[in-house]
Structure 1
Amino acid sequence: MGLVAYADASYANDLLTRYSIGGHIVFLAGGPVFWKSKKQTFTAVSTTEAEFTNLTPAAQSLIWINQLMKEYGMEQPKPLLLYTDSDNARLNVLNPLNGARTRNIDVRYKYIIDQVRKGIINLQHLGGDQMTADGLTKPLEIQKHQRFVKQLGMVAKRIDWLKNG
């Protein structure tokens, strides 16, 4: 498993502003190497918009980690894999005629569209129950938290060589 990222957003969950929370996690060799969770700075008018605009910072982080790997002679093959659990957001990225209502959001849209069009990012859909970044965007009940911890690879593992030494 090489370089891969997961992006998710929780729509309008800030009760005062109705801002959404976006988050993403970048994995390298099966382990998390970068993660971020942040309240979006605008009020999205749909789940699709919240998810869609969150794809840009996720793509930027993925490309940045790949650039670091390149500097050490370990650049990953393109396209880099980015997962979203919003098929609507993914389909909007793949539609080059997508329009946005405001200029600042339009810039967010065009970045991810451009990265996919250039073949730098491969945007794939992943079911919500498999979305690792879900744990960064909302409070989790105990079962979802346990799944999140397991998806991060933060589980107790038996180390047999300690027993034999």
Structure 2
Amino acid sequence: IRSLNARISTTLIAYCDADYAGDVDTKRSTTGYVFLMYGGPVSWSSGLQPTVAASTVKAEYMSAAQSVKEALWFRKLGGDLELDFGTVLIYCDNQGPIRLLKHPIASQRLKHIDVIHHFARERVARKEVAFAYCGTEDMKADIMTKALAPGKFKKCKSEIGIA
């Protein structure tokens, strides 16, 4: 997609969420994300995290790392198509992981998170992705992580562009 031989600027935003210890048998958390462009979904995922998270913040942190991987893939694809996604904005409904991603600190509580998840901090520092808080009532990725009441389900479905 090329317009007058110039790179096209476009907006790609994402919502990521985790349902802490939602699996009753394994106590693993569910990670979910949805990426939107021009008001419609272009990528989404829902699945159990590979390891048990010891807290809600850790579950959300791992979910954030998964969404960063997807954002980086989109940035690479965009480059190949001469689309400029700029810094991909990812919304999260928990301020703990956002703080950890923006201001990394060494902590006893975080030492058990796999190194693979910490690469997300580097990508935030490089301004390839940015995280922002959105309230739980506006979290569009809820539809990927848990059963919702009918009203919330319809709202999420509508907000991600699914009829």
Shared topology, TM-score over 0.5?
Answer: yes
Q: Secondary structure at the match of 1:93?
A: helix
Is 1:116 matched up with 2:124? yes
Residue deviations 1:2-52 (CA, integer Å, cap 9, x gap): 111110000001111110000011111221000000101111111111001
Q: Which residue of 2 aligns with 1:70?
A: 79
**TM-score, length-normalised on structure 1?**
0.87
Quick check: 1:87–1:125 contact (8 Å CA) kept in 2?
Answer: yes
Report percent identity of matched pairs: 28
Structure 1: gaps (5+ residues): 156-165
Aligned with 2:21 (options 9, 12, 32): 12
Query: Which amino acid in the other structure matches residue 21 of structure 2?
Result: A
CA RMSD after TM alignment: 1.4
Q: Secondary structure at the match of 1:132?
A: coil
Q: Which residue of 2 aligns with 1:54?
A: 63
Is 1:129 matched up with 2:137? yes
Q: Which residue of 1 aligns with 2:3?
A: none
Q: Which residue of 1 aligns with 2:93?
A: 85
- What displacement does 1:116 show? 0.5
Is 1:41 matched up with 2:15? no
Q: Secondary structure at the match of 1:89?
A: helix
Quick check: 1:83–1:126 contact (8 Å CA) kept in 2?
Answer: yes
Q: Which residue of 2 aligns with 1:107?
A: 115
Runs of 4+ in 1 over 4 A off after TM superposition: none
Is 1:148 matched up with 2:156? yes
CA distance 1:98–1:124, shift in 2 (3 Å): farther
The structure with more radius of gyration: 1
State how far apart, in whole Å, the 2-side matches of 1:154 and 1:139 are: 17
Q: Secondary structure at the match of 1:153?
A: coil
State how far apart, in whole Å, the 1-side matches of 2:27 and 2:130 are: 30
Q: Secondary structure at the match of 2:83?
A: coil
Residue deviations 1:62-118 (CA, integer Å, cap 9, x gap): 1211211211111212x211110111110111222244333xx23134211111111
Query: Which amino acid in the other structure matches residue 85 of structure 2?
Result: Q
Q: Which residue of 2 aligns with 1:23?
A: 32
Q: Secondary structure at the match of 2:137?
A: helix
**TM-score, length-normalised on structure 2?**
0.88
State how far apart, in whole Å, the 2-side matches of 1:5 and 1:113 are: 17
Quick check: 1:67–1:75 contact (8 Å CA) kept in 2?
Answer: no
